[in-house]
Amino acid sequence: DTGVSQDPRHKITKRGQNVTFRCDPISEHNRLYWYRQTLGQGPEFLTYFQNEAQLEKSRLLSDRFSAERPKGSFSTLEIQRTEQGDSAMYLCASSLPQGWGDTEAFFGQGTRLTVV
Amino acid sequence: AQKITQTQPGMFVQEKEAVTLDCTYDTSDQSYGLFWYKQPSSGEMIFLIYQGSYDEQNATEGRYSLNFQKARKSANLVISASQLGDSAMYFCAMRPLFGNEKLTFGTGTRLTIIP
């Protein structure tokens, strides 16, 4: 295990369809984050988990979005009834518990979603 | 609330020259961390360097150094002896050291190294 893994790397879907993305974090990392990145912008926070508990959700995460981390390991992000505005790169990151130091988040390569 | 501002959308630099990427921030937190990430065309965000608000010395990591000026709320990234492989998007980010977990990112700077 050399890093955060995301699947699929690319997804094209028709408007109105549901999509699900998977993220496998670095094995000893108990914190997992989802970010969304649109063209020309920096990543924006969506949600994060500590183990299996979802501790914070952004207002960007509408009712059509749901994220889970059932056993505190991998996580899924589902988007229901996709809209063209959902087209973006979805980035997953993981980290060790935040402490007094440089607890950086390690990112995966992202899932690029295109809604047509 | 936290805000990161990167005012350089794009930069072109000759290979082997040094380059400074600007970053200013705004926060009401007393303790915070500042990060720089590199994003190549493959999409992955690669961590480069970290600076804590309590650190008195500027952080360095190989060819990367962070010019931290707390009073000015700036955290510029300096890359020395640039290489062709440095061509990428660069993002400045920050988060509070305690409590809120999320990173707040700037809009990035696209760096292109010219041979």
pLDDT digits (tens, 9 = 90+) for B52-80: 999 889 999 999 999 999 999 999 999 99
Mean pLDDT of all residues belonging to chain A: 91
* pLDDT one-digit tens code per residue, A54-93: 998 998 888 999 999 998 899 999 999 999 999 999 999 9
Option in A43, A89, A102 nearest B105 (CB): A43
B102–A48: do the CB atoms touch at under 8 Å?
yes
A42–B93: do the CB atoms touch at under 8 Å?
yes
- Binned at pLDDT 50, 70 and 90, residue B1 comes out as confident
The shortest C-alpha distance from A78 to chain B (Å) reads 20
pLDDT on residue A14? 98
Q: How many other C-beta atoms are found inside a 10 Å radius of the C-beta of residue A42?
A: 22
State yes or no: pLDDT of A97 exceeds 90: no
Contacts of A88 (CB under 8 A, 6+ apart): A36, A37, A38, A39, A112, A113
The shortest C-alpha distance from B36 to chain A (Å) reads 10
- Binned at pLDDT 50, 70 and 90, residue A1 comes out as low
CA dist list (Å): A5 to A25, B33, B47, B104? 6, 25, 16, 22
Using an 8 Å Cβ cutoff, are A77 and A18 in contact? Answer: no
Between A and B, how many residue pairs show a Cβ–Cβ distance under 8 A?
A: 61
Give the SS3 label for residue A74: coil
Task: Look at phi and psi of residue B16 and say left if phi exceeds 0, alpha if psi is from -120 to 50, else beta.
Answer: left
pLDDT on residue B100? 67
CB contact residues (below 8 A), chain B span 84-103, against chain A:
91, 93, 97-98, 100-103
Amino acid at B50: Y
CB contact residues (below 8 A), chain B span 34-63, against chain A:
35, 37, 42-47, 50, 52
Q: Which residues does residue B14 pair with via DSSP β-bridges, in sequence order?
A: B114
Average pLDDT of A37-53?
93
Residue in A with minimal Cα distance to B108: A42
Cβ neighbours of B2 in A, within 8 Å: none
- A91 has a chain B CB within 8 A of its CB: yes
- A10 has a chain B CB within 8 A of its CB: no
Option in B42, B52, B105 nearest A109 (CB): B42
